[in-house]
Amino acid sequence: MLEKLGKKFKIKGEFVNGGPYGSGHINDTYIATYKHNGKSIKYIHQRINGHVFKEPQKVMENVVRVTKHLLIKLQGNGVNDIERSCLQIIPSLNGVPYFVDEEGKYWRTCSFIENAHTCDIVETADQAFAAGAAFAQFQRLLVDLPGGRLHEIIPDFHNTVKRYRDFENAVEVDRSKRASLCQEEIAFVRYRDPIVSILTDLMAKGDLPERITHNDTKLNNVMLDDKTNEGLCIIDLDTVMPGTVLYDFGDLVRTSTCPAAEDEKDLSKVYLHVSLFKALAEGYISKAREFLTDVERKYLVFSGRLITFEQGIRFLTDYLKGNNYYKTKYEEHNLDRCRNQFKLVGSIEEKESELNKIIEDIFHN
């Protein structure tokens, strides 16, 4: 399958081997090795999830616009290792950045970033710092992206108000007859109803500027250099679209400050590690300081609580609907993920004053 697919893209060399790659929840990802002029070259082939991304062409239009601009900015900044610092999209034989197979499925190909790795779970403060700095740099370089507004790939993706409404509808309909199994989690969500509209209200009033954001700032979407562990390249650009930087920082807090996987069942292992948060914030602010507004600074810590809460709602909603959105390994997987995220929300709430003090100190140093 991969050998046949590779022939649809402008890839140099002959196919050697390939197979599944990564741990993503949404798309199907494969790695393939090719031989060219006696050298092995690796590529990533990915089938775009048409259930999640209804208009794959627009996804790829955004990706191409963003990567071309990043390439120009990095070259202008004198970055030498461009091939490892910016995602390289390989066009199809037709010259477009995707191929549509006989089943109507969209595929794309990009170069594999050598001598680099990703981490699903944060292990060190250096990793947290690198993730924060890499995503802030990504945001900073896109501040002056020319042209019109990017496509809104998934409308209201981080609109917590809408996510809350979807949750309440799922509880009311109870299609899979599971609401009785998660009454404690349902109560947890409803108790926090007052926080769901805070960021959307600020954006509606114009107090939070709309920027170009990644919207899926998991730790494993940063390629880290094998030798230095510095952030090299931001990957998984499907959800790059208009948003607030707080969505991105909030998701970084969610994924880069807890030393446990997001489906860890032993909730004693799930908590916000303050030293990881400090490193993350230092890395992020080191690159974002120059463009953040006062309002954005004020809500950095809150965004971590809100986005973690939102993700918990999304897992719970998917569980109530019968596990139709996220890939699951067993029937209660989404419920375990939900409980995990809500435990982290509680940890952030307990430490919110301390975390805000950390942010203030970083900005004043």
Of all helices (H) and strands (E), which one includes residue 109?
Answer: strand 106-111
Strand 106-111 to strand 211-213: parallel, antiparallel, or no bridges (unpaired)?
Answer: unpaired
State the pLDDT at residue 242: 95
Percent residues over pLDDT 70 in the chain? 99
Nearest-angstrom CA–CA distance, 172 and 168: 6
Class of domain 125-364: alpha beta
Task: Give the residue ranges of DSSP H helices in the chain.
Answer: 2-6, 56-76, 82-85, 125-141, 160-173, 183-191, 198-204, 245-256, 274-288, 294-298, 300-321, 333-350, 352-364
- pLDDT tens string 309-333: 999 999 999 999 999 888 899 999 9
Query: How sure is the predictor about 99, in pLDDT bands with cuts at 50, 70 and 90?
Result: very high
Average pLDDT, the chain: 95
Q: Evaluate whether 110 touches 98 at the Cβ level (below 8 Å).
A: no
Q: What is the mean pLDDT of residues 62-71?
A: 96
The whole-number average pLDDT for the span 48-57 is: 92
Going by pLDDT thresholds of 50, 70 and 90, the confidence category of residue 72 is very high
Q: What is the pLDDT of residues 198-234, one digit of tens each?
A: 999 999 999 999 999 999 998 889 999 999 989 999 9
User: How does residue 8 score in pLDDT terms, banded at 50, 70 and 90?
Assistant: very high
Q: Which two tokens stand for residue 302?
A: 């809150």
Give the strands of the sheet with 222-225, arranged side by side.
116-117, 222-225, 231-234
2-114 fold: Phosphorylase Kinase; domain 1 (3.30.200)
Res 22: pLDDT: 74
Assign 51 a pLDDT band (cuts: 50, 70, 90). confident
Mean pLDDT throughout 283-307? 97
The mean per-residue pLDDT over the stretch 261-285 comes to: 97
Helix (H, G, I), strand (E, B) or coil at 199: helix
Burial label, 52 (beta-carbon count in 10 A; 0-12, 13-18, 19+): middle
DSSP per-residue letters across 15-51: EEEEEE----SSSEEEEEEEEETTEEEEEEEEE--TT
Output the pLDDT for position 158. Answer: 93
Q: What pLDDT sits at residue 24?
A: 67
Q: Please provide the DSSP assignment of 66-79 as one string.
A: HHHHHHHHHHHTT-
Which whole number is the average pLDDT over 337-357?
98
Phi first, then psi: give them for residue 207, nearest 5 degrees. Answer: -75, -25
Answer yes or no: same fold for 2-114 and 125-364. Answer: no
Domain limits, the chain? 2-114, 125-364
Is 25 a residue whose pLDDT tops 70?
Answer: no
Residues 6 or more apart whose Cβ sits within 8 Å of residue 317: 163, 166, 167, 170
Is residue 26 scored above 90 in pLDDT?
no
Q: Of 11-15, 195-199, 276-280, which gets the smallest average pLDDT?
A: 11-15
Cβ-contact 212, 150 below 8 angstroms: yes
Kindly report, residue by residue over 353-365, the tens digit of the pLDDT. Answer: 999 999 999 999 8
Give me the mean pLDDT over the 134-138 stretch.
Answer: 96
Judged against a pLDDT cut of 80, whether residue 23 lies above it is answered with no
The angle that helices 352-364 and 300-321 make with each other, rounded to 10 degrees, is 140
Instruction: Say yes or no to pLDDT of 170 above 80.
Output: yes
pLDDT at position 79 is 86
10 Å CB burial of residue 161 (0-12, 13-18, 19+) is middle
Phi–psi pair at 312, nearest 5 degrees: -60, -40
